[in-house]
Amino acid sequence: MFIEFLFISSALVTVGCAIGILATKNLMHSCVFLLGTLLGIAGLYVTLGADFIAAAQIMVYMGGVVILMLFAVMLTGGKDFMSKAQRLLGLAPTMGSKFTYGLGVVTAIVFVLTNIKLLWTVFGNITTKEVGNDFHSTVNQLGHLLVKDHVLAFEISSVLLLGALVGAAIIARPRKNK
């Protein structure tokens, strides 16, 4: 029952936030929706039993979205994101609407359920007996696949990420006036 509820809520958050990315024009809102999408995908990984991939999804990709938000603020000059109604009426910027608060609550629930399942998998099955040679965890299988079978794709993705980082640094550097 818990796995089915986690799967359905993770799928709804993933699809809903993906649609939110497409629907919004605000760069910061897109980054927050991307954060929710990646969190929903981590929940789907947990329901599939890929605990290491889910933890890596949360740490690496969601951390990358936070860095993306920082680059977005750097590249846009950190302008104040106020709506037209707020500017017209002279209102202070608010943190969100009822929709964004509701989306935040649903995302928080998925995040908590994902972490409960991850922690239960890690700490719930602790035993003191010896593990035989036939034991293969997800980490062991993933490491074997990355080093043996898919080493070229692993290296290409690292070069691609390095190129993106260098490109972002070149775009964000200050320009000299001639």
List b or e across 51-78, with b for residues whose CB sees 16 or more CB atoms inside 10 angstroms: bbbbbebbeebbeebeebbeeeeeeeee
Q: Could you tell me if residue 35 is inside a domain?
A: yes
24 exposure class (CB count in 10 Å sphere: 0-12, 13-18, 19+): middle
Per-residue pLDDT of the chain (178 residues; tens, 9 = 90+): 888 888 898 999 999 999 998 998 877 788 788 888 988 999 999 888 888 888 888 888 888 777 777 777 667 655 555 566 666 776 665 556 777 788 788 888 888 888 888 777 767 765 555 555 555 566 777 778 878 888 888 788 888 888 888 887 777 777 776 5
Give the whole-angstrom CA distance, residue 165 versus residue 155: 15
Regarding whether 175 and 101 lie in a shared domain, the answer is: no
Q: How many domains does the chain have?
A: 2
DSSP letters for 51-88: HHHHHHIIIIIHHHHHHHHHHHHHHHT------HHHHH
Domain that holds residue 164: 135-178
Regarding whether 107 and 25 lie in a shared domain, the answer is: yes
For 39, 138, 148, 159, 166, the CA distances from 152, given in Å and listed in that order, are 28, 20, 9, 11, 21
Regarding whether 49 and 9 lie in a shared domain, the answer is: yes
Regarding whether 118 and 150 lie in a shared domain, the answer is: no
Q: Could you tell me the CATH number of the domain that includes residue 32?
A: 1.20.120.1200
For 56, 77, 127, 151, the CA distances from 60, given in Å and listed in that order, are 6, 26, 29, 19
